[in-house]
Amino acid sequence: MTAYFFADTAVLTGRTLRHVTRSVDTIITTVITPVAMMLMFVYVFGGAIDTGSVSYVTYMLPGILLITVASGISYTAYRLFTDMQSGIFERFHSMPIARSGVLWAHVVTSLVANLLSLVIVVGVALLMGFRSGAGVPAWLAVAGILFLFTLALTWIAVIPGLSAASVEGAGAFAYPLIFLPFISSAFVPTETMPAPVRWFAEHQPVTSVVDTIRALFTEQPLGDGIWIALAWCVGILVVAYVFAMASYRRKTG
Protein backbone atom coordinates (compact mmCIF):
# COMPACT_ATOMS: atom_id res chain seq x y z
CA MET A 1 0.00 0.00 0.00
CA THR A 2 3.00 2.30 0.30
CA ALA A 3 2.70 2.99 -3.42
CA TYR A 4 -0.18 5.25 -2.48
CA PHE A 5 1.56 6.97 0.41
CA PHE A 6 1.81 10.38 -1.28
CA ALA A 7 -1.62 10.22 -2.91
CA ASP A 8 -3.30 9.17 0.34
CA THR A 9 -1.42 11.72 2.41
CA ALA A 10 -2.41 14.43 -0.06
CA VAL A 11 -6.09 13.48 0.16
CA LEU A 12 -5.98 13.36 3.96
CA THR A 13 -4.06 16.64 4.13
CA GLY A 14 -6.76 18.23 1.98
CA ARG A 15 -9.24 17.12 4.61
CA THR A 16 -7.35 18.51 7.62
CA LEU A 17 -6.58 21.75 5.77
CA ARG A 18 -10.30 22.24 5.32
CA HIS A 19 -10.59 21.99 9.09
CA VAL A 20 -8.25 24.96 9.29
CA THR A 21 -9.84 27.03 6.54
CA ARG A 22 -13.33 26.36 7.89
CA SER A 23 -12.45 27.35 11.42
CA VAL A 24 -10.48 30.50 10.79
CA ASP A 25 -10.99 31.24 14.49
CA THR A 26 -8.19 28.75 15.22
CA ILE A 27 -5.78 30.97 13.25
CA ILE A 28 -7.11 34.11 14.93
CA THR A 29 -6.82 32.70 18.44
CA THR A 30 -3.34 31.47 17.57
CA VAL A 31 -2.13 34.94 16.58
CA ILE A 32 -4.08 36.92 19.16
CA THR A 33 -1.81 36.02 22.10
CA PRO A 34 1.49 36.80 20.34
CA VAL A 35 0.05 40.01 18.87
CA ALA A 36 -1.26 41.13 22.27
CA MET A 37 2.15 40.38 23.81
CA MET A 38 3.85 42.29 21.06
CA LEU A 39 1.61 45.35 21.65
CA MET A 40 2.18 45.19 25.38
CA PHE A 41 5.94 44.72 25.20
CA VAL A 42 6.48 47.35 22.54
CA TYR A 43 4.15 50.04 23.88
CA VAL A 44 4.29 49.34 27.64
CA PHE A 45 7.52 47.64 28.73
CA GLY A 46 9.63 48.25 25.66
CA GLY A 47 10.60 51.80 26.53
CA ALA A 48 12.33 50.60 29.66
CA ILE A 49 14.38 47.92 27.93
CA ASP A 50 17.67 48.93 26.40
CA THR A 51 18.28 47.06 23.15
CA GLY A 52 20.90 49.40 21.79
CA SER A 53 20.53 50.57 18.22
CA VAL A 54 17.88 47.93 17.31
CA SER A 55 14.23 49.02 17.60
CA TYR A 56 12.44 47.04 20.28
CA VAL A 57 9.83 45.55 17.93
CA THR A 58 12.63 44.19 15.75
CA TYR A 59 14.46 42.97 18.81
CA MET A 60 11.56 40.97 20.20
CA LEU A 61 9.91 39.73 16.97
CA PRO A 62 11.93 36.47 16.82
CA GLY A 63 10.69 35.53 20.30
CA ILE A 64 7.12 36.44 19.36
CA LEU A 65 7.38 34.21 16.29
CA LEU A 66 8.40 31.25 18.47
CA ILE A 67 5.49 31.97 20.83
CA THR A 68 3.19 31.98 17.80
CA VAL A 69 4.34 28.50 16.81
CA ALA A 70 4.11 27.27 20.41
CA SER A 71 0.50 28.40 20.66
CA GLY A 72 -0.32 27.20 17.14
CA ILE A 73 0.70 23.62 17.74
CA SER A 74 -1.87 23.24 20.53
CA TYR A 75 -4.43 23.15 17.68
CA THR A 76 -2.38 20.43 16.01
CA ALA A 77 -2.76 18.36 19.16
CA TYR A 78 -6.43 19.31 19.37
CA ARG A 79 -7.21 18.28 15.78
CA LEU A 80 -5.42 14.96 16.19
CA PHE A 81 -7.11 14.34 19.54
CA THR A 82 -10.54 15.02 17.99
CA ASP A 83 -9.82 12.51 15.22
CA MET A 84 -8.80 9.91 17.80
CA GLN A 85 -11.95 10.51 19.84
CA SER A 86 -14.42 10.61 16.97
CA GLY A 87 -13.32 7.25 15.61
CA ILE A 88 -12.43 8.63 12.19
CA PHE A 89 -8.78 7.80 12.89
CA GLU A 90 -9.80 4.14 13.27
CA ARG A 91 -11.98 4.30 10.20
CA PHE A 92 -8.97 5.43 8.14
CA HIS A 93 -6.80 2.78 9.78
CA SER A 94 -9.22 0.02 8.84
CA MET A 95 -9.09 1.14 5.21
CA PRO A 96 -6.64 -0.10 2.56
CA ILE A 97 -4.53 3.07 2.65
CA ALA A 98 -1.01 4.05 3.69
CA ARG A 99 -1.75 4.20 7.42
CA SER A 100 1.02 6.61 8.36
CA GLY A 101 -0.50 9.12 5.93
CA VAL A 102 -3.15 9.83 8.57
CA LEU A 103 -0.47 11.18 10.92
CA TRP A 104 1.53 12.94 8.21
CA ALA A 105 -1.59 14.77 7.07
CA HIS A 106 -1.81 16.34 10.53
CA VAL A 107 1.88 17.22 10.47
CA VAL A 108 1.68 18.91 7.06
CA THR A 109 -1.46 20.77 8.11
CA SER A 110 0.29 21.97 11.25
CA LEU A 111 3.12 23.40 9.13
CA VAL A 112 0.69 25.19 6.83
CA ALA A 113 -1.48 26.58 9.66
CA ASN A 114 1.56 27.85 11.55
CA LEU A 115 2.98 29.41 8.40
CA LEU A 116 -0.29 31.35 8.00
CA SER A 117 -0.13 32.52 11.62
CA LEU A 118 3.53 33.55 11.26
CA VAL A 119 2.77 35.58 8.14
CA ILE A 120 -0.01 37.42 9.99
CA VAL A 121 2.21 38.16 12.99
CA VAL A 122 5.04 39.44 10.77
CA GLY A 123 2.46 41.62 9.00
CA VAL A 124 1.33 43.15 12.30
CA ALA A 125 4.96 43.67 13.30
CA LEU A 126 5.57 45.55 10.03
CA LEU A 127 2.65 47.84 10.89
CA MET A 128 4.22 48.42 14.30
CA GLY A 129 7.49 49.51 12.79
CA PHE A 130 9.44 46.28 12.34
CA ARG A 131 12.03 46.84 9.63
CA SER A 132 14.74 44.55 8.36
CA GLY A 133 17.35 45.07 5.72
CA ALA A 134 17.72 41.32 5.37
CA GLY A 135 17.96 40.07 1.81
CA VAL A 136 16.31 37.04 0.24
CA PRO A 137 18.92 34.51 1.47
CA ALA A 138 18.55 35.75 5.06
CA TRP A 139 14.74 35.58 4.87
CA LEU A 140 15.01 32.05 3.44
CA ALA A 141 17.27 31.14 6.33
CA VAL A 142 14.69 32.56 8.79
CA ALA A 143 11.95 30.58 7.03
CA GLY A 144 14.09 27.44 7.16
CA ILE A 145 14.79 27.74 10.87
CA LEU A 146 11.12 28.47 11.65
CA PHE A 147 10.12 25.50 9.49
CA LEU A 148 12.44 23.20 11.43
CA PHE A 149 11.30 24.67 14.76
CA THR A 150 7.61 24.21 13.79
CA LEU A 151 8.26 20.66 12.62
CA ALA A 152 9.99 19.81 15.91
CA LEU A 153 7.17 21.31 18.00
CA THR A 154 4.56 19.64 15.78
CA TRP A 155 5.98 16.23 16.60
CA ILE A 156 5.88 17.18 20.27
CA ALA A 157 2.19 18.07 19.78
CA VAL A 158 1.53 14.68 18.18
CA ILE A 159 2.34 12.95 21.49
CA PRO A 160 -0.51 14.51 23.57
CA GLY A 161 -2.72 14.48 20.46
CA LEU A 162 -2.46 10.69 20.39
CA SER A 163 -2.37 9.95 24.09
CA ALA A 164 -4.24 12.68 25.99
CA ALA A 165 -7.27 11.65 28.01
CA SER A 166 -9.14 14.95 27.59
CA VAL A 167 -9.26 17.96 25.27
CA GLU A 168 -7.78 20.15 28.00
CA GLY A 169 -4.89 17.73 28.37
CA ALA A 170 -4.29 17.73 24.64
CA GLY A 171 -3.82 21.50 24.65
CA ALA A 172 -2.21 22.09 28.04
CA PHE A 173 1.26 20.86 27.05
CA ALA A 174 1.71 24.03 25.00
CA TYR A 175 1.75 26.37 28.04
CA PRO A 176 5.30 25.62 29.16
CA LEU A 177 6.42 25.98 25.55
CA ILE A 178 4.76 29.40 25.32
CA PHE A 179 6.41 30.38 28.62
CA LEU A 180 9.92 29.27 27.65
CA PRO A 181 10.76 32.37 25.54
CA PHE A 182 10.29 34.58 28.64
CA ILE A 183 13.34 32.96 30.23
CA SER A 184 15.49 33.55 27.19
CA SER A 185 17.03 36.41 25.25
CA ALA A 186 13.67 36.96 23.50
CA PHE A 187 12.50 40.05 25.40
CA VAL A 188 15.44 41.30 27.47
CA PRO A 189 19.19 40.88 27.09
CA THR A 190 20.26 37.94 29.28
CA GLU A 191 23.03 40.01 30.93
CA THR A 192 20.40 41.65 33.14
CA MET A 193 19.31 38.34 34.73
CA PRO A 194 20.61 36.83 38.02
CA ALA A 195 23.35 34.25 37.45
CA PRO A 196 21.37 30.95 37.67
CA VAL A 197 18.50 32.30 35.55
CA ARG A 198 20.99 33.71 33.10
CA TRP A 199 22.75 30.36 32.89
CA PHE A 200 19.43 28.62 32.10
CA ALA A 201 18.43 31.32 29.62
CA GLU A 202 21.68 31.08 27.74
CA HIS A 203 21.63 27.31 27.54
CA GLN A 204 18.04 26.64 26.54
CA PRO A 205 17.00 26.17 22.91
CA VAL A 206 14.87 29.32 22.56
CA THR A 207 17.82 31.69 23.09
CA SER A 208 19.93 30.18 20.32
CA VAL A 209 17.00 30.16 17.88
CA VAL A 210 16.00 33.73 18.83
CA ASP A 211 19.58 35.01 18.56
CA THR A 212 20.00 33.42 15.16
CA ILE A 213 16.78 34.87 13.73
CA ARG A 214 17.60 38.26 15.26
CA ALA A 215 21.08 38.22 13.72
CA LEU A 216 19.54 37.40 10.34
CA PHE A 217 16.99 40.24 10.67
CA THR A 218 19.59 42.79 11.76
CA GLU A 219 22.28 41.58 9.33
CA GLN A 220 24.72 40.75 12.11
CA PRO A 221 27.29 37.93 11.85
CA LEU A 222 25.79 34.56 12.78
CA GLY A 223 28.81 32.93 14.41
CA ASP A 224 28.36 29.43 15.87
CA GLY A 225 24.89 30.34 17.12
CA ILE A 226 23.14 29.05 14.03
CA TRP A 227 24.69 25.59 14.44
CA ILE A 228 23.59 25.45 18.07
CA ALA A 229 20.09 26.54 17.02
CA LEU A 230 19.95 23.91 14.26
CA ALA A 231 21.30 21.24 16.59
CA TRP A 232 18.58 22.04 19.14
CA CYS A 233 15.81 21.94 16.49
CA VAL A 234 17.02 18.68 14.95
CA GLY A 235 17.62 17.15 18.39
CA ILE A 236 14.13 18.03 19.63
CA LEU A 237 12.67 16.85 16.35
CA VAL A 238 14.36 13.44 16.56
CA VAL A 239 13.46 12.86 20.22
CA ALA A 240 9.85 14.04 19.72
CA TYR A 241 9.49 11.90 16.60
CA VAL A 242 10.72 8.80 18.41
CA PHE A 243 8.32 9.32 21.31
CA ALA A 244 5.44 10.23 18.99
CA MET A 245 5.94 7.07 16.93
CA ALA A 246 6.14 5.01 20.11
CA SER A 247 2.77 6.32 21.30
CA TYR A 248 1.42 5.88 17.77
CA ARG A 249 2.40 2.22 17.81
CA ARG A 250 0.97 1.80 21.29
CA LYS A 251 -2.35 3.28 20.11
CA THR A 252 -2.57 1.35 16.87
CA GLY A 253 -1.26 -2.01 18.02
Partner 1 sequence: MVTQSIAGPAIRVRGLKKSYGKLDVLCGVDFDVERGTIFALLGSNGAGKTTTVRILATLLKADAGTAGVHGFDVAAHPANVRASISLTGQFAAVDEILSGRENLVLVARLRHLENPGAIADDLLRSFSLTDAGARKVSTYSGGMRRRLDIAMSLIGNPPVIFLDEPTTGLDPEGRIEVWHAVKKLAGHGTTVLLTTQYLNEAEQLADRIAILHQGRIIVNGTLAELKRLFPPATVEYVEKQPTLEEIFLAITGSDNKTDATGTNA
The residues of the shown chain that bind partner 1, judged by CB under 8 A, are: 1, 4, 7-8, 11-12, 15, 18-19, 22-23, 86-88, 90-97, 252-253
Residue closer to partner 1 (CB basis): 2 or 220: 2
Taking the alpha carbons at both ends of the chain, their separation in whole angstroms is 18
Residue 44 is classified by DSSP as I
User: Which residues, 6+ apart, have CB-to-CB distance to 150 below 8 Å?
Assistant: 69, 72, 73, 110, 111, 114, 115
CB of 179 to partner 1, least distance (A): 31
CB of 253 to partner 1, least distance (A): 5
CB of 246 to partner 1, least distance (A): 16
Residues 221 and 215: beta-carbon distance below 8 Å: yes
Residue closer to partner 1 (CB basis): 4 or 200: 4
CB of 139 to partner 1, least distance (A): 34
Cα–Cα dist 69/60, whole Å = 15
CA atoms within 13 A on the CB side of 224: 1
Residue closer to partner 1 (CB basis): 22 or 224: 22
* Selection from 32, 240, 27, 56 nearest residue 152 by Cα: 240
Amino acid letter, residue 38: M
Residue closer to partner 1 (CB basis): 95 or 231: 95
Residue closer to partner 1 (CB basis): 52 or 253: 253
CB of 86 to partner 1, least distance (A): 6
Residues 42 and 8: beta-carbon distance below 8 Å: no
Residue closer to partner 1 (CB basis): 18 or 203: 18
CB of 20 to partner 1, least distance (A): 10
Residues 135 and 42: beta-carbon distance below 8 Å: no
